[in-house]
Amino acid sequence: MTLAGTIVNGHVRLDHPSDLPDGTRVLILVDEEECEHPHPMAPYDREKEIALLRESIEDAKAGRTRPVEEVMAEVAAKFDANNSSRIDERLVPHRTSSWEVSIV
């Protein structure tokens, strides 16, 4: 059996309800193609980070920006944060990745 879900604040949120009983052991495999953030222990690439910052600065200078309210509304909708009392915690992008869960 394979189940798909998303990690939110360190917990797996399944895409669809499951009738698995509490205590069922699972194996989590990361979908590397959808994981947009490197592993926290990955080597730091200073040149890559500087290039990304320079690109961001150029985008801002060229007017390729969006109002923060628009971006935050989009993020809140994506994570259904409007229905949560923990909105701030749920909007931390580096804590959210797509994962696949398999029964062991």
Number of neighbouring beta carbons within 10 Å of residue 76: 16
Q: Read off the pLDDT of residues 59-70 as tens digits, 9 standing for 90 and up.
A: 989 998 888 888
Task: Judge whether 6 lies within some domain.
Answer: yes
Residue 96 pLDDT: 45
Number of structural domains the chain divides into: 1
Task: Judge whether 13 lies within some domain.
Answer: yes
Task: Judge whether 89 lies within some domain.
Answer: no
Task: Judge whether 88 lies within some domain.
Answer: no
Which percentage of the chain shows pLDDT scores above 90?
Answer: 12
- Look up the domain containing 12 and give its range: 2-38+46-81+94-103
Q: Read off the pLDDT of residues 3-36 as tens digits, 9 standing for 90 and up.
A: 888 888 888 888 888 888 888 888 888 776 666 6
Task: Judge whether 87 lies within some domain.
Answer: no
pTM of this structure = 0.36
Task: Judge whether 86 lies within some domain.
Answer: no
